[in-house]
Structure 1
Amino acid sequence: MQRWIDHDYEVSIAVRELGLQSRSGLPILWVHGFAHQHQVWNQVIELTALKQPTLQMDLRGHGASGWSVEGDYGVAQHARDIHRVLDALEIDQAIVVAHSLGGNAALLAASHAPQRFAALALIDTGPGLSLQGMQQVAEGVSESLRSYDCLEDFRITLDLQYPLASEAALDAFAEASLVRRLDGRFEPRLDPALLRGQIPAATLQQLEQDLWAALSNIKAPTLIVRGASSGMLPEQTVKQMASQIAGPTHHVTVQGAGHSIMLDAPETLATHLCAFIERHQPSSKEKCSAKAANQAPRFSSWG
């Protein structure tokens, strides 16, 4: 089920909901990273065979969510949007799985309201991300942010951005990422304003300070997953994060994966998440179990 969260004329947030009324257990909210959409999680969710209610949100400016006229795309605003989604759906507490930009937004959101987060899984994200890595990601997205004659043209750009991902994963990712215009051409479902201008160094420095400070307020059990080939999250940063998070923390490194672990190694990520979720929702009668997956991911528009 697809719905949009609106409040006081703010940017609408698109949410894909599965089982909120029919399933038991704590809801699991999945938050994607920069230049992705909610569909990027589909294969991992399918592999875990989760029995809890599942929510996948599109960050503002991404996918089916609205665009900010003011260009308000700061991490703090994304964090407020996470709370908007939980408030609108009357969810008091949730398990949150979040990647990259979405992960840092979840960090701030959990810091401001620790009681709402039963558990937190941070996928290749945290304070102190590599500036060089962020610049490379931004350049790759900027180069791809144009119109295309066909999906196959866009698909070629993804090979350069995600060299460790499978062909099937990138085919599905490409299909989910584009929208067809009235003139028949295709363009990414992404607000170009997300890439306008360089973020001032002082703003980045303040954000990093805020994120480090947020860690001491995280009371929920936390899993940090890093891609072994990630150019974004240094291993030393993971260890430092684990030492500063107030709640119980576990961290793992996934071999054969870079920054976008859900595309590079979905089976391994699903296994780690399944074990983490089971460990921190012991009262649930339904257990998730990662499937052995030699199957293509399915990223339908709202599947």
Structure 2
Amino acid sequence: MNVSDGSYANDDAGVAEASPVSASSLSLEDGDIHVCQDGPRDAPALLLIHGSASSGRSWAPMVRLLSGSHHVIRIDLLGHGRSAKPADGSYAIPDQARRAAAVLDRLGIEHAVVVAHSSGGTVATALAEQRSELVTALALVNTGPSLAAYLAPDSAATGILQWPPTDEQLRELASTGFSRPGYQVPEELLDDVRSMTHHTFLATMQATRSYLEQRPLPDRLAVLGKPLLVIFGADDRRWRSSAAGEYRAVAGAEVELLPGLGHSPLLEDPPRTAVPLLAYTAKHAVPVER
């Protein structure tokens, strides 16, 4: 069944998705990358990048809203989801961005709007730094601009010594990702954490920290000259939502705060999150040349 015709369990029961039009594993030199594609192949391309300890499944409730007018591409970054998790792999942000570019090249994508959630925004930024001609525009969803905006204690993640974590530890770790009291974190997303190794869990989180320590994202993006949309759940419990205004340092940046939503608006309220995103991509997505 085509995802654009299917439905998702977009409620507390989970994020189960209809079968994508195409799911495959692409072999790169440092590990296999899992890729899902939805929507018409001749439509403008959207690359969706997930955050830490997650996977492309986190975008499942959004796909049916986006794939009617876009070729939607989701990847599981190395170390996450259904992609490889090598013990000796590099999880540095520039290397994750290089792999994302390699996937687009393999798929024959010449231009894409890159949409990223949370720490996936660091990968999107690095991709634009490396391959300016490939990235036509960026949209960041609850991506903190710098470490100064971070609210959640590091101990919630790095303090996990046993692996895999207990269900209680997983739910505590995930709790700051949502604003609604009593929200039941979808089991599929907890499975994404369970599927990681302790090494990849810690290495990928440290990679994000290192990238932000080197230079805040608004400073990096300001010199790229790319259109930028920032969507931020105003009740984010991981990143100070007022810090979204720092992205206005990027010329022409659009900043959209969503009251009542937390760190994961793509899961908490997909239709509401899709409204500014679709309006933005309508202006900046590049049609495929026939």
Report the TM range for the smaller structure's normalisation. Answer: 0.7 to 0.9
Instruction: State the partner residue of 1:225.
Output: 231
Given that residues 128 and 233 in structure 1 are in contact (C-alpha distance below 8 angstroms), is that contact kept between their aligned partners in structure 2?
Answer: no
Cα deviation 1:163-185 (Å, max 9, x = unaligned): 53598973xx3135428xxxxxx
Cα distance, 1:119–1:166 mapped onto 2, change above 3 Å: farther
Partner-residue secondary structure (3-state), 2:25: strand
Aligned residues: 265
Offset at residue 255 of structure 1 (A): 1.1
- CA distance in 2 between partners of 1:145 and 1:267 (Å): 36
Which amino acid is the alignment partner of residue 16 of structure 1?
C
Long gaps (5+) in structure 1:
180-186, 285-303
Which amino acid is the alignment partner of residue 125 of structure 1?
T
Given that residues 121 and 225 in structure 1 are in contact (C-alpha distance below 8 angstroms), is that contact kept between their aligned partners in structure 2?
Answer: yes
Cα deviation 1:95-136 (Å, max 9, x = unaligned): 111011211110111122222112211011143133442626
Q: Which is worse superposed, 160-169 or 120-129?
A: 160-169
Cα deviation 1:116-164 (Å, max 9, x = unaligned): 1122110111431334426266259x4895267xxx9898657734453
Percent of matched pairs sharing the same residue: 24
Offset at residue 26 of structure 1 (A): 1.6
- CA distance in 2 between partners of 1:46 and 1:143 (Å): 38
Given that residues 54 and 81 in structure 2 are in contact (C-alpha distance below 8 angstroms), is that contact kept between their aligned partners in structure 1?
Answer: yes
Partner-residue secondary structure (3-state), 2:31: coil
Cα distance, 1:225–1:189 mapped onto 2, change above 3 Å: same
- CA distance in 2 between partners of 1:27 and 1:138 (Å): 34
The structure 1 residue matched to 2:73, chosen from 55, 66, 72, is 55
Instruction: State the partner residue of 1:293.
Output: none
- CA distance in 2 between partners of 1:203 and 1:37 (Å): 21
Given that residues 52 and 120 in structure 2 are in contact (C-alpha distance below 8 angstroms), is that contact kept between their aligned partners in structure 1?
Answer: yes
- CA distance in 2 between partners of 1:264 and 1:227 (Å): 9
- CA distance in 1 between partners of 2:162 and 2:54 (Å): 13
Cα distance, 1:203–1:274 mapped onto 2, change above 3 Å: closer
The structure 2 residue matched to 1:30, chosen from 48, 51, 68, is 48
- CA distance in 2 between partners of 1:62 and 1:205 (Å): 20
Offset at residue 37 of structure 1 (A): 1.1
Partner-residue secondary structure (3-state), 2:152: helix
Offset at residue 193 of structure 1 (A): 0.9
1:64 and 2:82 are equivalent in the alignment: yes
Given that residues 41 and 262 in structure 1 are in contact (C-alpha distance below 8 angstroms), is that contact kept between their aligned partners in structure 2?
Answer: yes
Given that residues 63 and 189 in structure 1 are in contact (C-alpha distance below 8 angstroms), is that contact kept between their aligned partners in structure 2?
Answer: yes
Instruction: State the partner residue of 1:215.
Output: 221
Offset at residue 267 of structure 1 (A): 2.1
Partner-residue secondary structure (3-state), 1:34: coil
Which amino acid is the alignment partner of residue 32 of structure 2?
S
The structure 2 residue matched to 1:178, chosen from 184, 191, 202, is 191
TM superposition outliers: structure 1 runs of 4+ over 6 Å: 152-155, 166-169
- CA distance in 2 between partners of 1:126 and 1:163 (Å): 15
Q: After superposition, where does 1:111-150 map in structure 2 within 5 Å? A: 111-129=129-147, 130-133=149-152, 135=154, 138=157, 142=160, 146=164
Given that residues 228 and 254 in structure 2 are in contact (C-alpha distance below 8 angstroms), is that contact kept between their aligned partners in structure 1?
Answer: yes
Offset at residue 250 of structure 1 (A): 0.4
Instruction: State the partner residue of 2:179.
Output: 164
- CA distance in 2 between partners of 1:90 and 1:190 (Å): 30
RMSD: 3.4
Which amino acid is the alignment partner of residue 226 of structure 2?
A
Which amino acid is the alignment partner of residue 229 of structure 1?
D
The structure 2 residue matched to 1:15, chosen from 27, 35, 40, is 35
Offset at residue 254 of structure 1 (A): 0.9
Q: TM-score, normalised by structure 1?
A: 0.74
